[in-house]
Amino acid sequence: MCRTLSALLLLVAMLTSGCINDSATSTNNTTPPKAHPWKRTANEVIMRVDDEPDRLNPLLATSGYARQVMEQIFQTMVNLDPYSLELTPQLAVARPKVEQITEGKFKGGLKYTFEIQPAAKWDDGIPVTAADYIFGLKAVMIPTLKTERLRPYLQIIKDVQVDPKNPKIFSVFTAEQTFSSEEIVDGAISVMPAHLYDEMGYLSGIPLSDFLDSRKIAKLAKENDDIKAFVRSFNSMKFSRDPQHISGSGPYKLVQWETGQKLILEKKKDWWGDALADKYPALTALPDRLIYKDVLEDAVLSSLVKSEEIDALADISPKDFLSLKENNRIEELYNFYTPENLALYFMYLNTKDPKISDKRVRKALAHTINIDEMIKTLLSGFGTRTATPVHPKSPYYNSDLPLIDYNLKKAKQLLTDAGWEDTNNDGTVDKMINGKRVELIIPIQIVGKSSRQKSMVLMLQDDAKQIGMGIEIVPLEFNELKGNTRSGKYTAAIAGRTIDPLNWNPIQSWHTAYDNRTGFGNAETDALIEKIMHTTDDKTRYQLYKELQAIIYDEEPEIYFFVPKGRVIIHKRFDTKPTVVHPGYVPNYFKLKK
């Protein structure tokens, strides 16, 4: 909303520059080599994922792995085109008609009017209507549901009105204008069939206005039996894992989920969107099946590539990526790409933990990490450093902030300044905290199956010893680690997040009232974030972005490692191209060669 065209084009150009590896590859070879005919000819795409989804309920799921699968099952009104990085219609006939509200109780806000595709229908033939959009909005606003990932954004919506003559036409009203209003109204909610996910109609008899009133819905969530019954039902695993109960308007349906092994989606027969795909690229769905294989070990991945038992994979180790690329036979069968991903790898620091509540200790830890060596050794150079949570090629990246240097002398001095000294000569600095002597041993939680994360912490462990800081590796399952960061049950944790390709929306991760996992922030930073949200002028907002980045940089609630360059391998039996959007490819666009 209110983005200038030039700014969007600049961001697209910068993010897509160098997207394809310019070293000698057979990327442009579209003819299968005679000596190596394809082993598999089925119109199915087998993909590698690092881990399985936490669940396949678009309002409750939180992992990036879930998103990759759910975007093939569920749809939004408007979607982000993975190649142009522009908003494009999906369930909607067009992007919404936008009108300024000049009078009434929503004066000063905006009115967004949508029309749902006339052909759009659910699997049972019932048309997709505005009631389904409203259902999702109601569910998100229930505080006893774990929808914190979405609720902060959708609170700008104050009403939804349906055209009395056409249930597929509706208007969304916001009482204020923010830079991301259209993106939120367009795409924050995956539209779900209300008659299936609320088959008893628990929410249908309660007006939307009750859900949009935070005090009223908080009270109803505790006292209203219908809402409590809906929460129990909606939270059940049948709406998160059971193929019989997971249903969307998208082209694919879940047919099989073997925990820790694979997840299979099948293309629906006579899917309504096929006839419209030429006009609406977001409806493109070419493969008959999409198979997600849960494989983490690089040795297994290399074996799958060599045997042609996988069609697309990303984030393979740099060593294996280069090794496979140098194999002439493999290079004849697969294309190799290195798009610069819209992703960020970093370390969460719990600023409420007494050991690291002093920012000097957090800065000392940052100076102890040799990130340049990490990129060289663990990524073979496939990474770009960043000093802030913003992509370094974004037009609002604060380039005045220098990268944190690897400097053990400075780290040791910071610890001394913060009162940490080795008083008992055991090699680890210590300090009196709340009347007890505490050794500075920092437990760092990692995904136990990730050899890369383990290697990263092992590199840090050796350097930390030199300044009297102990590092303990705590391997966990992905979902347990994620839960710990959300609840504050950690000191430090390795993590990753995707980066918004359009505009940075800091409210969820950095405002103290929302999903702030580091404990960072105060009234001043909250006010700055709220000002950012309500600034529609790009130039002014970009300056505010830089101010917030400078504060985050000074407080060090997160330590930023790198923006990775993707390592994408795709079988040549498909026509497709890479994207900067993680994981670096779009499986529903894979066109099988004849």
Over residues 531-554, mean pLDDT: 93
- Mark whether 221 and 363 lie in a shared domain: no
Domain assignment present for residue 416? The answer is: yes
Q: Which tens digit of pLDDT belongs to each residue from 449-488?
A: 888 899 999 999 999 999 999 999 999 999 999 999 999 9
- Which residue type, as a one-letter code, is found at position 106? F
Domain assignment present for residue 422? The answer is: yes
Over residues 30-39, mean pLDDT: 61
The span from the CA of 594 to the CA of 580, in Å, is 27
Over residues 71-97, mean pLDDT: 94
Sheet holding 289-294, edge to edge: 252-258, 262-267, 289-294, 44-49, 312-313, 568-571, 334-337
Nearest CA to 250 among 278, 231, 229, 274? 274
Q: Quick check: 107 pLDDT over 60?
A: yes
Q: Quick check: 7 pLDDT over 60?
A: no
Q: How far apart are the first and last CA of the chain?
A: 42
On the CB side of 179, how many CA atoms lie within 13 Å of its CA? 24
Over residues 84-109, mean pLDDT: 93
Tokens standing for 498?
């995707």
- Mark whether 218 and 349 lie in a shared domain: no
The span from the CA of 238 to the CA of 232, in Å, is 11
Domain assignment present for residue 245? The answer is: no
Last residue of a domain, one of 234, 250, 278: 234
Give the pLDDT of residue 36.
53
- Mark whether 425 and 546 lie in a shared domain: yes
Last residue of a domain, one of 234, 264, 294: 234
Q: pLDDT class for 297, splitting at 50, 70, 90?
A: confident
Last residue of a domain, one of 234, 263, 281: 234
Domain assignment present for residue 553? The answer is: yes
The span from the CA of 285 to the CA of 290, in Å, is 10
Q: Which tens digit of pLDDT belongs to each residue from 159-192?
A: 999 999 999 999 999 988 888 889 899 999 999 9
φ and ψ at residue 451, rounded to 5 degrees: -65, -30
Tokens standing for 291?
């198979």
What CATH number does the domain containing 436 carry? 3.10.105.10
Domain assignment present for residue 196? The answer is: yes
Nearest CA to 374 among 410, 409, 347? 347
Give the pLDDT of residue 488.
95
Question: pLDDT exceeding 70 applies to what percent of the chain?
Answer: 94
- Mark whether 493 and 373 lie in a shared domain: yes
In this structure, are residues 76 and 184 in contact, taking their beta carbons and an 8 Å threshold? no
Total structural domains within the chain: 2
What CATH number does the domain containing 186 carry? 3.90.76.10
Structural domain span for residue 166: 74-234
Give the pLDDT of residue 292.
96
Domain assignment present for residue 432? The answer is: yes
The span from the CA of 529 to the CA of 96, in Å, is 26
The span from the CA of 64 to the CA of 56, in Å, is 11
Tokens standing for 26?
């057979």
Give the pLDDT of residue 25.
38
Question: pLDDT exceeding 90 applies to what percent of the chain?
Answer: 77
- Mark whether 221 and 355 lie in a shared domain: no
Domain assignment present for residue 69? The answer is: no
The span from the CA of 347 to the CA of 556, in Å, is 10
The span from the CA of 541 to the CA of 396, in Å, is 9
pTM: 0.73
Q: Quick check: 8 pLDDT over 50?
A: no
Q: Quick check: 334 pLDDT over 50?
A: yes
Domain assignment present for residue 148? The answer is: yes
Q: pLDDT class for 520, splitting at 50, 70, 90?
A: very high
- Mark whether 218 and 350 lie in a shared domain: no
Over residues 542-560, mean pLDDT: 97
Give how far Cα 29 sits from Cα of 337, 437, 575, Å: 14, 66, 11
- Mark whether 227 and 361 lie in a shared domain: no
Strand, coil or helix: what is 275? helix
